[in-house]
Homo-oligomer: A and B are copies of this chain.
């Protein structure tokens, strides 16, 4: 809803141009509460602006990701995006069986990431870390 105004400022202040295509993509991603697939962004964008190219969608989403405006989640073998809320960061747990996504507070990763930094000097990129695995439901289904 908001935060997308500030995103425009961030684009502008870093010398990026504000184009109708970029505004569309921002609107669409910001108008969603959850994550949205690149192809879905595309079809919605075309409603506003018939000649948008899918490549533009991808380029824009990558740009917004670099700027920290959106985060990327890999679901199955597709990329999904969602608005990054600076005050409510979270990571994702994606079930490899049913593709269900659960969110996870970064607190769970704090200790782990601190150890990596202390011992290896490696700074993990938690904003783009997705944990794969099996959710409770699918886990018990395969155990049966």
List chain A positions with a Cβ less than 8 A from chain B.
93, 95-96, 102, 104, 108-109, 111-112, 115-116, 120-125, 128-129, 131-136, 139
Kindly identify which residue among B93, B121, B124, B128 contacts A124, using a CB–CB cutoff of 8 Å. B93
Contact across chains for B135 and A121 when beta carbons are under 8 A apart: yes
Please report the C-alpha to C-alpha distance between residue A131 and residue B115 in the assembled complex, in whole angstroms: 13
Q: Which chain B residues border A134 with CB–CB below 8 Å?
A: 122-123, 125
Given the complex, which residues of B lie within 8 Å of A125, measured CB to CB? Answer: 96, 132-134
How near does chain B come to A40, taking the closest CB pair, in angstroms?
21
CB distance B133 to A124 under 8 Å? yes
The reply to whether A124 and B116 form a contact with Cβ atoms under 8 Å apart is no
